[in-house]
Amino acid sequence: MKNLFNRYIKNNIYAAAAYNFILVMLLFMLCRIAFYLFNVPYFQGMTLSHFLVLCKGGIQFDLSALIYTNLLYILLMAIPFQFRYKKGYQQTAKWIFIVTNSIVIIANCIDIVYFRYINKRTTFSVFTEFSNENNLWKILGDGFVQYWYVSLFGLLILFGLYKLYYKPQRKEEQLPGKIYFYYIRNVIALVVIGLFAVSGIRGGLGHYVRPITLSNANKYVDRPSEAFIVLNTPFCIYRTLGRDQYVDPHYFKSEKELKAVYDPIIYPHPAGEFKKLNVVVFIIESLSKEYVGELNKGLDGGKYKGHTPFVDSIIRNSLTFEYTFANGHRSIEAMPSVLSSVPSFIEPFILTGYSSNKISGIAGELDKKGYYTAFFHGAPNGSMGFDAFAHLSGFKSYYGMTEYNNDADFDGTWAIWDEPFFQFYAKKMNTFKEPFMTTLFSASSHHPFVVPKKYENRFKENGGLPIYKCVEYTDYSLQKFFETASKMPWYKNTLFVITGDHTNQMKHPEYLTDAGRYKVPIIFYYPGGNLKGRLKKVAQQVDIMPTILGYLNYDNPYVAFGHDLLDSTREENMAMLYDKPVFQYFKGQYMYQYDGQRIIAVYDYIHDILLKKNLKNTVKDPRAENEMKAYIQQYITRMKKNSLTIN
């Protein structure tokens, strides 16, 4: 056995490197087990089977973190030159491996203890948090002694890393005159190893796969806190490295003063008994307001028809608003905004170090009322991290490309074509017990802007922008969905909401401004009721959740950064967007641009639609600036304190 090991491990540089990598993966898993055992009280109700699920999910994050950590070592072992077999070279590679991996193992061990103090994994922000501490080494030394058993565990892990490391012992054999075969196969090996490294860091290959982030851990958990078992500390640090960190601006000195200006806790005052309506939310990829003819009757001198004839027909029998905005520019920003009333400030919530915070959501709140909840997205499961966030926000079931189970309808780039997936959505809902709350995030109106071959002659650009034909195809798919759904028994007892995730290609000047780039439709359609009209109000995506819950006469308090658009007691609505590096605040007829310290611009966005005239020297509204400050501070402090829900 020993000779066999020496032959295939010590005498093969790739096998030796793989062995060492697997070794440190196992040591990371031991750190995860120790992390759990030391913090058992924080993970009540854990079963062995569920813990194994968390460990299995953690492998992906360990792989990513350890490839980052070992990039230099991997390169040293993979370059195809023969000097890599020399004793001094291999000794150097060994110590690079041991030192770099010892650092990340120590980081994991520190968090075994530190978790109890911060209730999360350490992120890069820790370096900012302790940058001005002069006694950091003393703190670490005291912790080393106080938690000696964790320190002993860490030392044993490091000792194992050192003792169990293997390095190749001899030069690879070559056939005389066949040296080029050596380089061919080793260059091929280098390419394969490079692809493995990229795939491991990103969490997969393919343009539809976004690099995994902290939020992806949520797909494995039953409770948000369990994400910290799935994650490891080095991964959390790497993924938050160089990102803008949330710093409490301390605009207001006391909590009382802050809440007096703005408080995101909503205490409902229902007008009657709870309405057990089904709720269906469509988040349509790239559905800019500009594409909707019914909302742009004045464009092109009144001749504009738009690209959404079916959505136009829905709007005529729906409730919508005059000034409607997305809270971000990316799909990953839309999900928290629409479904959990959490805007995207500084960076998308899903990409922050706080993405494992406990969070409210329409699904989670309606679950308390006995609703069945499900999220639908036709892309490969795991794409964009949607499944993880859906789980975090309270959805019980997820239906993706796997559940659709027919790759023949795959568009070849992103997801299942909208038309068949929308039909799948309607028919699947027909099997659900009422009341239910579901969401579908569409995919076809996306780059590279193609439609199914059978519709290439039907849907064309018709106006010069490639996305137009895709929008028309998705609008047609939506029409077919409603034709199917309208024949089903649950249809008239359902509140439908339609919005875009963000804007996309646009050509009219008024939609290319700082305000116009965020304009998406927000539509409430209730075929069994009388919810109609076009109110001259400001509305934003984060208003969708409180408006739905308000309309249903929901009676539990919850946290939301939006408002009930049907609340007649509100003086006027507002919208707050982050257009890096400034905040944009819409209230009344004015849009305020605020850089975190001062108002840098004020525009009458209603009458000055091209935002040509900066009114900051003539329009003074201290209340608006105070409201912006309170909104920002509430968001940042609640994010940092993990208080996005009602305790």
Task: Give the model confidence (pLDDT) of 573-601 as tens digits.
Answer: 899 998 777 899 999 999 999 988 889 88
The predicted pLDDT at position 222 comes to 75
The predicted pLDDT at position 628 comes to 95
In terms of Cβ atoms closer than 10 Å to its own Cβ (0-12, 13-18, 19+), residue 177 is exposed
In terms of Cβ atoms closer than 10 Å to its own Cβ (0-12, 13-18, 19+), residue 41 is exposed
Between the alpha carbon of residue 157 and those of residues 28, 57, 141, 145, 291, the distances in Å are 9, 22, 19, 17, 59
Helices (H) and strands (E) in the chain, counts: 21, 14
Between the alpha carbon of residue 476 and those of residues 308, 415, 419, the distances in Å are 8, 17, 8
The predicted pLDDT at position 483 comes to 97
The predicted pLDDT at position 175 comes to 45
Mean confidence (pLDDT) of the chain = 88
- Give strand ranges (E) for 156-296: 265-266, 278-284
Q: What is the mean pLDDT of residues 152-163?
A: 94
| Euclidean distance between CA atoms 600 and 614, whole angstroms | 9
Between the alpha carbon of residue 236 and those of residues 122, 240, 517, the distances in Å are 7, 6, 32
The predicted pLDDT at position 312 comes to 97
DSSP output for 563-623: --TT-TT-S--EEEEEETTEEEEEETTEEEEE-SSSEEEEEETTT-TT-----TTT---HH
| Euclidean distance between CA atoms 554 and 267, whole angstroms | 10
* Rg, Å, the chain Cα set: 28
Amino acid at 510: E
Confidence of residue 141 (pLDDT cuts 50, 70, 90): confident
| Euclidean distance between CA atoms 270 and 281, whole angstroms | 22
**Residue 134 clears pLDDT 60, i.e. is over it:** no
Sheet-wide strand order for 372-377? 397-399, 372-377, 436-441, 278-284, 494-500, 522-525, 319-325, 533-540
Task: Give the model confidence (pLDDT) of 69-83 as tens digits.
Answer: 999 999 998 888 878
Task: Give the model confidence (pLDDT) of 7-23 as tens digits.
Answer: 566 668 888 889 999 99
**Residue 201 clears pLDDT 60, i.e. is over it:** yes
**Residue 569 clears pLDDT 70, i.e. is over it:** yes
Instruction: Spell out the residues 6+ positions from residue 279 whose beta carbon is closer than 8 angstroms to its own.
Output: 362, 366, 371, 435, 436, 437, 438, 494, 495, 497, 548, 552
Q: What is the mean pLDDT of residues 453-481?
A: 90
The predicted pLDDT at position 118 comes to 66
Confidence of residue 463 (pLDDT cuts 50, 70, 90): low
Q: Find out whether 355 and 213 touch, Cβ atoms under 8 Å.
A: yes
Q: Which domains does the chain have, with CATH numbers?
A: 2-240 (no CATH), 287-489+503-526+533-641 (3.40.720.10)
Q: Find out whether 547 and 524 touch, Cβ atoms under 8 Å.
A: yes
Instruction: Spell out the residues 6+ positions from residue 249 whose beta carbon is closer than 8 angstroms to its own.
Output: 596, 629, 632, 633, 636
Amino acid at 627: E
The predicted pLDDT at position 83 comes to 80
Confidence of residue 128 (pLDDT cuts 50, 70, 90): low
Could you identify the residue written with the tokens 């640090």? 237
The predicted pLDDT at position 246 comes to 79
Higher pLDDT, 600 or 85: 600
The predicted pLDDT at position 413 comes to 83
| Euclidean distance between CA atoms 591 and 584, whole angstroms | 7
Amino acid at 118: I
Confidence of residue 130 (pLDDT cuts 50, 70, 90): low
The predicted pLDDT at position 382 comes to 81
Task: Give the model confidence (pLDDT) of 351-381 as tens digits.
Answer: 777 888 889 899 999 999 999 999 999 998 8
Single out the residue of 524, 540, 529 nearest to residue 319, CA to CA: 524
Confidence of residue 239 (pLDDT cuts 50, 70, 90): confident
Q: Find out whether 480 and 422 touch, Cβ atoms under 8 Å.
A: yes
Higher pLDDT, 185 or 474: 474
Task: Give the model confidence (pLDDT) of 405-440 as tens digits.
Answer: 999 999 888 899 999 999 999 999 999 999 999 999
| Euclidean distance between CA atoms 641 and 635, whole angstroms | 10
The predicted pLDDT at position 119 comes to 66
The predicted pLDDT at position 533 comes to 94
The predicted pLDDT at position 188 comes to 85
| Euclidean distance between CA atoms 164 and 142, whole angstroms | 30
pTM of the model: 0.79
**Residue 544 clears pLDDT 90, i.e. is over it:** yes
**Residue 200 clears pLDDT 70, i.e. is over it:** yes
**Residue 326 clears pLDDT 70, i.e. is over it:** yes
Q: Which of 82-96, 193-207, 622-636 is most confident?
A: 622-636
Q: What is the mean pLDDT of residues 628-645?
A: 92
The predicted pLDDT at position 332 comes to 87
**Residue 197 clears pLDDT 50, i.e. is over it:** yes
The predicted pLDDT at position 206 comes to 65
Task: Give the model confidence (pLDDT) of 94-123 as tens digits.
Answer: 999 999 999 999 999 988 888 876 667 887
